[in-house]
Structure 1
């Protein structure tokens, strides 16, 4: 890698910032954001309402699972001694003392020379040690041929077992899956279908979780129109609110897309006031750069808790962060309006905030080292984030598209961000770089 020739050079000299203006590093801004968000307080939810949430505490099994010995097959509950030496030619002939269905309460006792017809999941009767699958018997028909179903009519007097059955065969033992007191899920576990099924299986009707944060997403700009509507001169379709809402959902949040808000202070303030009641976090895009139409800054700064900053990064240099609303306020992250800048800013700052609020253990995207297939250039004093395609099979990465922050086509083809540190001006082909993976 090539570094600046003058180590004392002002890293912001390439920028248009006034000399006295402070610039923040990416790490400083991220640390400030994460210092002001925390996991949401735990709540008790019904199981299906908890899908996608994180456990607030360890889940302990109150009892054994399975709670009793039961059959894993349709067949006959038997004593193994009664089947010793059994073959198709010389079967063991057993008297059938009853039938046991799943959910049965009263169970027949199986004594010497006896068997009980049993269904899958039904409790094992006293005296029985194993289950002879119906395919190993004549099905109680008395014909001497093996049956392939449990359709033989009742009552039955005898069943022929056509092979030996070992002790414990086709029996699910009590506690073989989970023992009483076992920690079945640890705090922080994301609750998906299988985890919810486990909680239901051990008898939990509700669960204590960290709720999914409610994230309100809005784009600002009078040039924005709803996708599908006619685009007039100087107008563009609003894509940021869709990108950022989908990204928030993917990060684990409950996201509300508000859509485009015109450059009108009264309208923007009204929208914000309307959304504050249902937001744990507000994310905006647009209006954070230095410009004549600084409506976003005007409105946010009127709340008294939002700071607009310049970061040593490209793209995504202008950022806003703070709290708005009464009391402690709702965290607000104001992102740049260019689509690539907005998305990269989301990945670097908003996603970690959402994951922190979720109580997730994996707050940050994974970072791997990769060999860069093409030479790269970067600006001094800026941490560069280039779109790329990472190939895990050979550990290589190739840049996708150019550096401009409006190239959404290239962004859609990328699966990672190539990171070039602030002090590096160039990366030769074949050299190693850090890569932020954008897919889980």
Structure 2
């Protein structure tokens, strides 16, 4: 049973202080994607395609007018044979010198070679005249956008509003998707005040408000948030045992080696499989990722708020992507300017804001201070050889 006493099974970490990029990749590759399920379009938003989305019929399904005007055959002037509106059909065959009034989106009648826009047409006594349009002008041909069977979005694509509209337009009523991973958040610490100005020796909990919307933005579903005191010992173990309804358990604080830091000991005693045990980055190096029984995962985040934010984007974001069947997002690179000192052998992650075609470092990013991150657009990945103005990868801030 998870987190029981007895002779512990000790699993070696991947390496002391796993390199930042490697830690991110390990977190993404560690899980198997969650089982797929079929969901109606209205319930699929924010989930991830488990199979390719394919066109079930040509798009457009028929030749359609791209403008209001007249569908015409041959050179003009043209005798008006009738009218066709979107949703209707004009039965018949246009001969040269004939046309029908037509609305945008309506089927183009057989025999028509083009659409004469309304604003270029002169009408009178059942006839219309104007410059003869080039063949195919203002006509969207059947299958012009996609033929039947075309892959419109590959498996692993996150389902957003545009994809839902695309799926509906090509005949889908439901999608095979992977659900959001369920995430339980356990915030540890005896020193935390949950409301108001903290008292002497106390600090206000910042991670309780920060983590739930971050989990949602990363593609997870928050199953609950619980504050767990450091004392008496055993409360954290019990909280982890009771979080069996979640694929991911996020523990904040308790990840270092101090007297009140229990998480690593508990994981060793449970025989957990350590995937990442500390990361060579600043801030956030005491973070960890471990596998439990039944495909569940523990992500340990530092207690300092900015360090926890960095760690969440390092391990939690890739883990959720892997569980969801999404790829590990590539990091865009732009020139980064500002005053930051690279750390030998370490990756520094600092908040930046967009500035022209690049980004500028925002101050206020000590481990416990969220000011820079609150004003920034991304975290710049600063390696030991970076110099002011060099290009650097960016982790876009979720939310």
**What TM bracket, shorter-length normalisation?**
0.7 to 0.9
Q: 1:47 aligns with which of 26, 31, 41?
A: 41
Hey, what does 1:343 align to over in structure 2?
A: 309
1:280-333 alpha-carbon deviations (Å, 9 max, x no partner): 212121122233334555665664427594555433333343244xx5241011
Report SS of the residue matched to 1:333.
Answer: strand
Distance (whole Å) between structure 1 residues aligned to residue 69 and residue 149 of structure 2: 33
Q: Say whether residues 1:412 and 2:378 are aligned partners.
A: no
Aligned twin of 1:171: 139
- 2:250 aligns to what SS in structure 1? strand
Give the corresponding residue for 1:234.
Answer: 201
Structure 1 residue 125: Cα displacement: 2.1
Between the aligned partners of 2:103 and 2:85, the Cα distance in structure 1 is 5
Shift of 1:175: 1.3
- Which structure ranks higher in relative contact order (CA pairs < 8 Å, sequence separation ≥ 6)? 2
Alignment of 1:73-112 (within 5 A): 73-81=67-75, 83=76, 92=77, 94=79, 96-105=80-89, 107-111=91-95
Give CA-to-partner distance per residue, 1:145-164, whole Å, 9 cap, x none.
Answer: xxxxxxxxxxxxx1332433
CA contact (8 A) 2:30 2:322 kept: no
In the alignment, which residue of structure 1 is the partner of 2:116?
132
Alpha-carbon contact 1:71-1:172 (below 8 Å) kept: yes
RMSD: 3.5
Tell me how far 1:99 sits from its aligned partner. Answer: 2.5
Distance 1:367 1:419 in 2: 11
Please name the residue that 2:7 is paired with.
none
Q: Does 1:190 align with 2:158?
A: yes
TM-score for the superposition, normalised by structure 1 = 0.73
Query: Which residue does 2:188 correspond to in 1?
Result: 220
- After superposing the two structures, state which structure 1 stretch, 174-183 or 246-255, moved more: 246-255
Match in the other structure for 1:400: 363
Q: Secondary structure at the match of 2:35?
A: coil
Q: What count of residue pairs does the alignment treat as equivalent?
A: 380
Q: Which moved more, 1:280-289 or 1:29-38?
A: 29-38
| Cα drift, residue 72 of structure 1 | 2.0
Q: Distance in 2 between matches of 1:391 and 1:118?
A: 47
1:359 aligns with 2:322: no
Partner of residue 376, structure 1: 341
Aligned counterparts of 1:410 and 1:126: Cα–Cα separation in 2: 63
Tell me, what secondary structure is at the counterpart of 2:58? coil
| Cα separation, 2, equivalents of 1:317 and 1:439 | 19
Gap runs ≥5 in structure 1 = 1-21, 84-91, 143-157
For each residue in 1:1-46, what CA deviation from the matched residue of structure 2 results, as whole angstroms up to 9, or x when unmatched? Answer: xxxxxxxxxxxxxxxxxxxxx8343357556544532322332222
Q: For 1:241 and 1:401, how far apart are their aligned partners in 2?
A: 21
SS class of match (1:80): coil
Determine the C-alpha separation between the residues in 2 that align with 1:384 and 1:180.
48
Instruction: Give the counterpart of 2:100 among 103, 116, 121.
Output: 116
CA apart distance, 1:244: 2.9
**Aligned: 1:387 with 2:350:** yes
Equivalent residue for 1:5?
Answer: none
Q: Structure 2, unaligned stretches of length 5 or more? A: 1-14
**Contact map agreement 1:225 1:260 (CA 8 A) in 2:** no
Residue 292 of structure 1 pairs with residue 264 of structure 2:
no
Q: Residues of 2 paired with 1:124 and 1:394: CA distance?
A: 45
**Matching residue of 1:283:** 250
Deviations 1:54-99 (A, max 9, x none): 3223233232111111222222332223x0xxxxxxxx362x3332
Q: SS where residue 371 of structure 2 aligns?
A: helix
1:339-374 Cα offsets, whole Å, 9 max, x none, are: 12211211222222122222222346446675x754
Secondary structure at the aligned position of 1:405 is classed as coil
